[in-house]
Amino acid sequence: MEHQLERSDHRSQDVPQVLVIKPPPLVTLFEDKFISSKYQLLKAWESTLPLDQFLTTYAGSVRAVLCSGASPITPDIIRLLPSLQLVVTASAGINHIDLNECRRLGIAVTNAAGVFSDDGADAAVGLLINVLRRISAADRYVRHGLWPAKGDYLLGSKLGGKRVGIVGLGGIGSAVAKRLEAFGCTVLYNSRTQKPFVPYPFYSNVYELAADSDVLIICCGLTADTRHMVNREVMLALGKQGIIVNIARGAIINEKEMVECLLQGEIGGAGLDVFENEPNVPKELFELDNVVLSPHRAVFTPEGFIAACELVVGNLEAFFSDKPLLSPVMDE
């Protein structure tokens, strides 16, 4: 092992090293785009060394880390990498990176948010239509042979004319709004600050947004401030016909309170791609025909993965060439 590490160190003098603690899906799918003469991936997950020893071994040479939600970049990790200058995440979300510590130490951070905007927006609208028109429930009704036995299925609701409150008007939220306008919906939104030149009514309070909406679509990031932001009080304000769609992070909604509201008929339904304790999903949701479930795949398509891979490589190329990063994470 020591000889292998020595050979690796010699190679790193010529080839920039990029640390990967656990492989993001795009590395698994498109590793050939990384394994080139340009970069040496330091695959911590393949090492027999404990992680802290592996990081200490490369502490002096690692300037860039590629991560995803499966490999959080914590203060402890950062502390072991004194030469670290760049964290590249292959995801849209950045809640797995300690941004405060990165800012304090001048470590740049990039993400892939823009790449996934269209796919995430398509999925959000798809989940909403599915819940409103009862598409998945009607599919089960037909497949189980209930149509000839029990007759016509329940009617669904139309999308046009609905007041849709978007929580988080970033790239995905803006793409959702654009699609909903085409369906004839009224768009409202909440964010930490009001967006300039946005034509939709702004709500600084999620409770007030819910009270004026028929639908809430969650598109914001998970932070200490947004954790359990959508709670029972917000859901009661949304009302008995109200629909919640979440393609962001599960913990933005108080999941226990949401399940109770659904079971008690205090909200009308939900389209959920994310959950608090993935991959574990509350079993109470399985039997509810007004709930559509998806296994955290809203933003993922083959096309999106290719674009994300190209963006990750582009950010690394820019960094190692001392050029501006393509998708830096900026403070809002």
What are the pLDDT digits (tens) for 106-158? 999 999 978 999 999 999 999 999 999 999 999 999 999 999 999 999 999 99
Whether residue 136 contacts residue 292, with contact meaning beta carbons closer than 8 Å, is answered with: yes
Domain ranges of the chain: 2-111+302-320, 116-293
Res 244: pLDDT: 98
Active-site annotation holder among 79, 133, 232, 296: 296
Task: Select the CATH number that applies to the domain covering 116-293 from these four: 3.40.50.720, 3.40.630.10, 2.102.10.10, 3.40.50.300.
Answer: 3.40.50.720
Kindly list the distances between the CA atom of residue 92 and the CA atoms of 82, 251, 280, 299, 329, in Å, as whole numbers in the listed order: 26, 16, 22, 9, 10
Task: Enter the pTM of the model.
Answer: 0.86
Strand 86-89 and strand 64-67: the pairing is parallel
Q: Which residues contact 133 (CB under 8 A, 6 or more apart)?
A: 156, 157, 159
Active site residue 278: yes
Instruction: Give the H or E element holding residue 264.
Output: none
Q: What are phi and psi of 272, to 5 degrees?
A: -125, 120
Active-site annotation holder among 134, 249, 255, 257: 249
Res 330: pLDDT: 72
Active-site annotation holder among 278, 284, 297, 303: 278
Separation between Cα atoms, residue 105 and residue 112, nearest integer Å: 22
Res 331: pLDDT: 55
Q: In what order do the strands lie in the sheet with 40-43?
A: 40-43, 17-20, 64-67, 86-89, 108-110
Active site residue 96: no
pLDDT by residue, tens only, the chain of 332 residues: 444 444 444 444 568 899 999 988 888 778 776 666 678 899 999 999 999 999 999 999 999 999 988 899 999 999 999 999 999 998 888 889 999 999 999 999 999 978 999 999 999 999 999 999 999 999 999 999 999 999 999 999 999 999 999 999 999 999 999 999 999 999 999 999 999 999 999 999 999 999 999 999 999 999 999 999 999 999 999 999 999 999 999 999 999 999 999 999 999 999 999 999 999 999 999 999 999 999 999 999 999 989 999 999 999 999 999 999 999 997 54
Beta strand extents in 125-278 (DSSP E only): 163-167, 186-190, 202-203, 215-218, 243-246, 269-272
Pick the closest to residue 65 from 28, 115, 102 (CA basis).
Answer: 102
Pick the closest to residue 230 from 272, 193, 263, 279 (CA basis).
Answer: 272
Pick the closest to residue 200 from 168, 225, 231, 233 (CA basis).
Answer: 168
Among positive and negative, which fits the CA dihedral 280, 302, 221, 200?
negative
Res 10: pLDDT: 44
Separation between Cα atoms, residue 15 and residue 60, nearest integer Å: 14
pLDDT in tens, 217-235: 999 999 999 999 999 999 9
Res 9: pLDDT: 46
Which three-class secondary structure state does DSSP give residue 299? coil
- Whether the domain at 2-111+302-320 and the domain at 116-293 fall into the same CATH topology: yes
- Please name the CATH architecture into which domain 2-111+302-320 falls: 3-Layer(aba) Sandwich (3.40)
Active site residue 3: no
Q: Is 196 exposed, middle or buried (0-12, 13-18, 19+ CB in 10 A)?
A: exposed
